[in-house]
């Protein structure tokens, strides 16, 4: 096992290209997951049992099956029914849907944590359902959930290497192609690991700060 | 008159197609066996690592605590995918060649073990202080107290989260298909490339994964009920 620094500097630009795509996929996936999660959480509270039941089964199913197979499903099955997606878009949809089912639980807990008195006060002020949500419940429910949401976004970041399986040229895929070209696996693979470790250690610091900033519930 | 031979030809065609489908289904079921095997072996390794590292985190000795923390942070900080590739492609250069199955079990067990170690630590810390004081009052040694008083109570706290961890492990096994281990996901790709059909292989594989996850959560719930038996009125 010999480590070659020259080779490291030679492949660094390619890997940086990959890191950019990895981060882009994480950000887009996080945004989608935040929206999908809210949709699932609200859908499960629907008064229509058909809607709430089918949404919770759908979420349960997505949470119980591997992201990799879901990515394959989106990437290979959807084109057969005429929906042709670029790999990155398919990957972002997969990440967003999968983690949306996790963030839905965070939203649910956050919404349940808003005291009943707030609902009653909204009703007493004669607010409509939509206004109750947008002006009373969500503004109080969302800040305490931010650390938990960030936790899932970090988890999502660590799952982005799966996108390499559907030909997205992110960090892992760049490292693999470099490794296969030069037939040197030690440096690219170790660097990928190091990149992930550094970024997740930094994000742990960010998470601590978020917990400090938003974690406490002030009432 | 001309219709007769055509129908028989169609019959024959649909018959061969049917045997082909059953053959492909057999492939997928073989993959399911590999996935189950991986999940079981990975879970055993994860359980061992979880207790070693989790109890290491609450050790009296700084060195043990530091090693356990480093292990947990490292394996939680990098993704399972990177660890698997590292185990499979880089370790051979260090003179340690692993078969795909060995690399898969090693990466899955160490990765999920790191997550479960935090569960073990949390559960041990969740046991009330009075229990530790009672151990001291009864003159139990540290290990004796852990073995007979703390762990039996902590185990019940850990169990539901262990169930979630086992499902995460089951889902993570799909990654080993990328280092050419013939698990469910791999077989789905084989069927896709041989038939050109996409919906059948992927949908059936998704359903099998979901069924396995349901079995795990059902098993953990049953185990939990059995272990909680006779504990009514106790703290938990």
Give the model's pLDDT for residue B1.
Answer: 41
Q: Residues of chain A with pLDDT > 70: what percent?
A: 97
pLDDT higher than 80, residue B215: yes
To probe the interface with B, which of A72, A199, A202 has the most B CB atoms within 10 Å? A72
Cα of B117 vs its chain's centroid, Å = 14
pLDDT category of residue B142 using cuts at 50, 70 and 90: confident
Chain B residues in contact with chain A using a Cβ-Cβ cutoff of 8 Å: 73-74, 76-83, 85-86, 89-90, 93-95, 167, 170-175, 177-178, 184-185, 188-189, 192, 198-199, 202-203, 205-206, 209-210, 213-214
Q: Is the pLDDT of residue A48 over 80?
A: yes
A contact test, residue of B32, B39, B72, B78 with most A CBs within 10 A: B78
B182 phi/psi in degrees, rounded to 5 = -80, 65
The CATH number, out of the four listed (3.40.50.300, 1.10.3720.10, 3.30.43.10, 3.40.50.880), of the domain defined by the range B31-228: 1.10.3720.10
**pLDDT (tens digit per residue) in A156-187:** 998 898 999 898 888 888 998 888 898 888 88
**CA atoms of B143 and B145, how far apart (whole Å):** 5
Residue with tokens 């009864």: B138
Kindly report which listed range (A29-33, A101-105, B48-52, B156-160) carries the lowest average pLDDT score.
B156-160
**Residue position matching structure tokens 């119980």:** A64
CB B108 within 8 A of CB B38: yes
Q: With a cut of 50, say whether residue A81 has pLDDT above it.
A: yes
* Confidence at residue B82, expressed as pLDDT on a 0 to 100 scale: 86
* pLDDT level of residue A193 (50, 70, 90 thresholds): confident
Task: Decide if A196 and B172 are in contact by the 8 Å CB cutoff.
Answer: no
Q: How far is A131 from chain B, CA to nearest CA, in Å?
A: 37
On whether the CB atoms of residues A165 and B178 are closer than 8 A, the answer is yes
Q: Do B198 and A179 touch (CB under 8 A)?
A: no
Per-residue pLDDT at B2 exceeds 60: no
pLDDT bin (cut points 50, 70, 90) of residue A219 is: very low
Q: Are A82 and A74 in contact (CB under 8 A)?
A: no
- Is the predicted pLDDT of residue B226 greater than 80, yes or no? yes
What does pLDDT average to over chain B? 87
- The distance of B42 to chain A (nearest Cα, Å) reads 16
List the single residue in B78, B171, B175 with the smallest CB-CB distance to A193. B78
pLDDT at B14: 57
C-beta atoms of A80 and B199 within 8 A:
yes
User: What is residue B3's predicted lDDT score, i.e. its pLDDT?
Assistant: 45
Q: What is the pLDDT of residue B109?
A: 95
d(CA B100, CA B107): 10
Give tens-digit pLDDT for B173-196.
999 998 888 999 999 999 988 888
Q: Where are the domains of chain B?
A: 31-228
| Lowest-pLDDT range of A94-98, A194-198, B14-18 | B14-18
Positive/negative CA dihedral, A156, A157, A159, A160: positive
CA distance, residue B220 to nearest chain A CA (Å): 15
Place of tokens 């790191």: B114
Domain ranges of chain A: 5-214
pLDDT at B218 over 70: yes
Closest to B81 (Cβ–Cβ): which among A70, A162, A190?
A: A162
Q: What is the pLDDT of residue B232?
A: 63
In percent, the amount of chain B with pLDDT more than 70 equals 89
Query: Average pLDDT, stretch A106-135?
Result: 90
For B4-41, what is each residue's pLDDT tens digit? 445 455 555 555 665 677 788 888 999 999 999 999 99
Determine the pLDDT at residue B19. Answer: 64
Q: Do B85 and A189 touch (CB under 8 A)?
A: yes
User: Could you tell me the two tokens for A91?
Assistant: 């990957």
State which of A2-6, A52-56, A176-180, B140-144 shows the largest mean pLDDT.
Answer: A52-56
Residues of A within 8 A of B213 (CB-CB) are: 64-65
Among 3.40.30.10, 1.10.3720.10, 1.10.3810.10, 3.30.360.10, name the CATH number for the domain at A5-214. 1.10.3720.10
Residue from B171, B188, B194, B203 to probe the interface with A (highest A Cβ count within 10 Å): B171
What tens digit of pLDDT does each residue of A13-33 get?
Answer: 889 999 999 999 999 999 999
């Amino acid at each position: 096992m010999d480590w070659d620094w020259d080779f490291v500097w030679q492949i660094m630009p390619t890997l940086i290209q990959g890191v950019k795509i990895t981060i882009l996929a994480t950000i887009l996936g996080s945004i989608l997951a935040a929206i999908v999660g809210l949709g699932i959480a609200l859908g499960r509270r629907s008064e229509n049992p058909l809607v709430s039941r089918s949404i919770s089964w759908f979420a349960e199913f997505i949470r119980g099956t591997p992201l990799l197979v879901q990515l394959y499903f989106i990437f290979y099955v959807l084109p057969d029914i005429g929906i042709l997606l670029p790999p990155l878009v398919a990957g972002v949809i997969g990440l967003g849907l999968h983690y949306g089912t996790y963030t839905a639980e965070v939203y649910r807990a956050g919404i349940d944590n808003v005291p009943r008195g707030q609902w009653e006060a909204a009703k007493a002020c004669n607010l409509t359902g939509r206004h109750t949500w947008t002006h009373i419940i969500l503004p109080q429910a969302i800040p305490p959930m931010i650390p938990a949401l960030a936790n899932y976004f970090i988890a999502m970041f660590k799952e982005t290497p799966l996108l390499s399986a559907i030909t997205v040229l992110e960090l892992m895929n760049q490292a693999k192609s470099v490794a296969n070209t030069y037939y040197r696996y030690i440096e690219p693979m170790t660097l990928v690991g190091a990149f992930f470790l550094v970024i997740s250690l930094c994000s742990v610091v960010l998470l601590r700060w978020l917990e400090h900033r938003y974690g406490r519930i002030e009432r | 008159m001309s219709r007769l031979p055509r129908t028989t030809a169609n019959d024959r065609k649909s018959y061969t197609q049917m045997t082909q489908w059953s053959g492909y289904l057999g492939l997928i079921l073989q993959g399911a066996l590999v996935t189950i095997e991986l999940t079981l072996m990975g879970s055993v390794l994860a359980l061992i690592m979880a207790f070693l590292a989790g109890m290491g985190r609450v050790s009296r000795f700084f060195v043990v605590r530091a090693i356990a923390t480093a292990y947990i942070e490292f394996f939680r900080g990098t993704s399972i995918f990177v660890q698997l590739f590292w185990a499979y492609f880089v370790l051979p250069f260090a003179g340690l060649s692993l078969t795909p199955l060995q690399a898969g079990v090693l990466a899955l067990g160490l990765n999920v073990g790191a997550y479960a170690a935090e569960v073990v630590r949390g559960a041990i810390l969740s046991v009330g202080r009075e229990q530790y004081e009672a151990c001291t009052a009864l003159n139990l040694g540290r290990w004796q107290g852990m073995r007979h008083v703390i762990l039996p109570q902590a185990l019940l706290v850990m169990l539901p989260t262990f169930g979630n961890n086992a499902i995460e492990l089951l889902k993570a096994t799909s990654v080993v298909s990328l280092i050419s281990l013939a698990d469910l996901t791999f077989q789905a790709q084989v069927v896709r490339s041989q038939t050109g059909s996409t919906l059948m292989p992927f949908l059936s594989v998704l359903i099998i994964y979901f069924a396995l996850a349901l079995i795990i959560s059902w098993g953990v719930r049953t185990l939990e009920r059995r272990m909680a038996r006779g504990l009514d009125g106790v703290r938990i």
